[in-house]
Structure 1
Amino acid sequence: MHLQFSSNLNLFFFFGLTLKLALLQTAVGQLQHHKLDQHWYPGTATWYGDPEGDGSTGGACGYGTLVDVKPLRARVGAVGSVLFMKGEGCGACYKVKCLDNSICSRRAVTVIITDECPGCPTDQTHFDLSGAAFGHMAISGENGQLRNRGQIPVIYRRTPCKYPGKKIAFHVNEGSTPFWLSLLVEFEDAEGDIGTMHIRENGSSEWLQMNHLWGANWCIIGGPLRGPFSVKLSSSTGRSLSARDVIPTNWVPKATYTSRLNFYP
């Protein structure tokens, strides 16, 4: 009896240890799943717009006049196809650092992808920055000289987007109807980009998948769709949140509805 009890105790200990290891591996996997790749990679950079300007007005992501005001103002950037990914890269944030120590500081500039650079090289990663963001990489007093270089070698890496005091908002695009609803996501921090997006109608328990339309715009065809709508979105790393009844019953096109949530507190 004593031997049998010891055997059962050892077996219980083994299964308990195995379960703890499995749970630990799952937790580690989830942490890795939600982790951005923050390694530095080589690339090139140019600038566009006014020398001290904010870059483009609007842009291929569809953020419109948001690019002209803080927190996006002077931090916008266009990228080639490698990072734009047909609009799926919209909203992502990157640190970009110049490699020419003769004219550049060690300071990296943080930019938010709001536009595409159709004429940029397709065989390498390229950033086309606002004049203000490009000059920010220069040593003191050399902003203009750095811009005169035109194209420069850089290194870049993903970085979390941070919008202190801002909550995720959903802009109902012009032309939306109860049968065709299109949304633009604004001020999504953390990864900044969108992997998937779903919507739930009033009184329903079913999440309906939205389709990527262009830039940071998503849409759903159905109907008639009944508000208020809850919206669930996930980033490229799988981090997700749900904004309950964020779009009211009496929603109108061209209006923006702000949630109470963001990925960071």
Structure 2
Amino acid sequence: MGIPCYFLVSCILLSPVAAAAVSQHWSPATATWYGSPEGDGSDGGACGYGSLVDVKPFRARVGAVSPVLFKGGEGCGACYKVRCLDRSICSRRAVTVIITDECPGGYCSGGRTHFDLSGAAFGRLAVSGDGGQLRNRGEIPVIFRRTPCKYPGRNIAFHVNEGSTNYWLSLLVEFEGGDGDVGSMHIREANSNQWLEMSHVWGANWCIVGGPLQGPFSVKLTTLSTGKTLSARGVIPQNWAVKATYTSRLNFNH
């Protein structure tokens, strides 16, 4: 059986709605890279996406951020445009990255705004053919801004985490378009009009303690950045299974 939600230190309700997800204003930051030079960074990471970071649409478009952007996991799934400033080696185009991990120490400590990108994403900041030279520089100055997340042909999905039961149900949110971040999450049981509030466990994972919980379940998401709401009716069937992923017919940018 999974760890009860109330035993987890990080199982708390999220903070009120923050600033808008889309910004035309560029802000200064710094960037490094991790993993293999042409790789996708770490497997999984602090958001809990697991092997999704290795396949499209995440592949080579992922990165870790310092705590000021990670926000205790609330920043998971947010998308940013990042652009390098050194015109002698950097392309003028920005690279779009999805936040899948946290970098808590080193360059990311002390309240700094820092991106630790996958090797592939970092290399794409350079002009064609100079990715290796740019990676050799280590830390570089960049500018960044929030941008809508886009997953063509994908709808929001919910992965039932290992350990879930009819009394402790934990879900991972995947492929959330638009804002990309989750501010609150509710679940509604079969034959009920009541939305039950779920609690943030860690990363992009949410849970609810109750029971016995009766499926099928509808799930309602509210984004952290702009407070947009989407409800997926009956998305998780009555005979749901642990480790299964259930895809809705909806997304925020459709």
| TM-score computed with the length of structure 1 as normaliser | 0.86
Contact 1:34/1:238 (<8 A) preserved: no
Alignment match of 2:122 (pick from 122, 128, 134): 134
Structure 1 residues 35 and 153, CA gap change in structure 2 (3 angstroms): closer
Give the % identical residues. 76
**Aligned match of 2:135:** 147
Determine the C-alpha separation between the residues in 1 that align with 2:152 and 2:213. 33
CA RMSD of aligned residues (A): 1.3
Q: Residues 34 and 118 (structure 1 numbering): CA distance in 2 closer, same or farther, change over 3 Å? A: closer
Q: Deviations over 1:143-199 (max 9, x none)?
A: 100000000000000000000000100000000000000000000000000011000
Q: How many residues align?
A: 234
Shift of 1:264: 1.8
Task: Give the alignment of 1:106-117 within 5 angstroms.
Answer: 106-117=92-103
1:35 is displaced (CA, Å) by 5.7
| Alpha-carbon offset, residue 37 of structure 1 | 3.2
Instruction: Please name the residue that 2:5 is paired with.
Output: none
Q: 1:75, 1:99 → 2: CA distance?
A: 19
Flag the 1:34–1:80 CA change in 2: closer, same or farther, 3 A.
closer
Give structure 1 stretches of 5+ with no counterpart. 1-32
Which segments of structure 1 move beyond 3 Å, counting only runs of 4 or more? Answer: none
CA distance in structure 2 between the aligned counterparts of 1:198 and 1:38, rounded to whole angstroms = 31
SS at match of 1:183: strand
Distance 2:98 2:249 in 1: 22
Aligned to 2:144: 156
Gaps of 5+ in 2: 1-18
CA contact 2:32–2:116 (8 Å) conserved in 1 = yes
Write the mapping of 1:163-242 to structure 2, written as runs, cut at 5 A: 163-236=151-224, 237-242=226-231
Q: Is 2:207 the partner of 1:251? A: no
Give, as a single letter, the amino acid of the residue that structure 2 aligns with 1:246: V
* Aligned partners of 2:21 and 2:146 also within 8 Å: no
- Say whether residues 1:91 and 2:77 are aligned partners: yes
Q: How far is the alpha carbon of 1:107 from its aligned partner? A: 1.0
The question of 1:47 aligning with 2:33 is answered: yes
* Paired position in structure 2 for 1:67: 53
Pairwise mapping of residues 13-24 of structure 1 onto structure 2 (< 5 A)?
none
Amino acid at match of 1:112: I
What amino acid is the match of 1:229?
F
Structure with more contact order per residue of length (Cα contacts < 8 Å, sep ≥ 6): 2
Note if contact 1:82-1:122 (Cα within 8 Å) is conserved in structure 2: no
| Structure 1 stretch displaced more, 112-121 or 215-224 | 112-121
CA distance in 2, matches of 1:261, 1:143: 37
Say whether the 8 Å CA contact 2:21–2:148 is kept in structure 1: no
How far apart, in 2, do the equivalents of 1:214 and 1:153 lie?
30
CA–CA separation in structure 1 for the residues paired with 2:75 and 2:111:
17
Measure, in 2, the Cα distance between the counterparts of 1:194 and 1:90: 8
Give the CA deviation at 1:210. Answer: 0.3
Answer whether contact 1:199 1:229 (CA < 8 A) is retained: yes
User: 2:100, 2:113 → 1: CA distance?
Assistant: 16
Give 2:4's aligned residue: none
Q: What is the TM-score normalised by the length of structure 2?
A: 0.90
- Letter of the 2:242 partner, please give it: P
Distance 1:35 1:191, change over 3 A: closer
Partner-residue secondary structure (3-state), 1:206 = coil
